A and B are shown apart, each in its own frame.
Chain A
Amino acid sequence: GQNIDQPTEMTATEGAIVQINCTYQTSGFNGLFWYQQHAGEAPTFLSYNVLDGLEEKGRFSSFLSRSKGYSYLLLKELQMKDSASYLCAVRGGSYIPTFGRGTSLIVHP
């Protein structure tokens, strides 16, 4: 089966940097996604990693290590609007994505 682990909740200060970790155990691997989801809204795509290494997109970066079954999402220069749930999703060998429970990030002034 598939197992995705990420912290339930994190807090950080406006302007700071935060790293949200995700570890996974899957049968096969066909990519890892990060999504942002504000309460009551749909998920918004942030990043997709299928090869090892760091992908940078503006204030957000995502890292993948397939051998360690590990990824992180790095958010820089945090803003209040970054308060949301961050979802890690892994596509296993079947191409079906499995989502983690999400990490609720609270950004305070």
Chain B
Amino acid sequence: EPEVTQTPSHQVTQMGQEVILRCVPISNHLYFYWYRQILGQKVEFLVSFYNNEISEKSEIFDDQFSVERPDGSNFTLKIRSTKLEDSAMYFCASSEMGGLADNEQFFGPGTRLTVL
């Protein structure tokens, strides 16, 4: 069964460093998402991406964040200068459809980011 994959599973970094989290969405999916979940807290939407453009982004997704689809398979989230409060589990998701359609989103296993 096709699945979303994410690498690395755990990333430890120093405050102020740049990190790139990688995701490979399901191959025939067109819509891609990043979410984060701080330990013990609720899931928060960061950004959605379609047709090589950001569709929606939340207030969390400020200038420190960027997304890219550098080739036909990868979807990346870059945090330019990490802060302690960026420590969280980051989930990538993809869906075949978007908008008001029944867009079942498939989540990857997540990357745990720890900022020291």
Contacts and interface: CB of A to CB of B under 8 A. Distances in A.
Contact of A42 (B91, B99, B100): B91
B85 interface: no
B44 A99 contact: yes
Contacts, number: 46
Interface residues of B, number: 22
A30 B100 contact: yes
Interface in A65-108: 87, 89, 94-102
Nearest to B98: A95
B43 interface: yes
B40 to A, nearest CB: 10
A42 B109 contact: yes
Interface string B80-116: 0000000000010000000110111111111000000
Interface of A: 30-31, 33, 35, 37, 41-45, 48, 50, 87, 89, 94-102
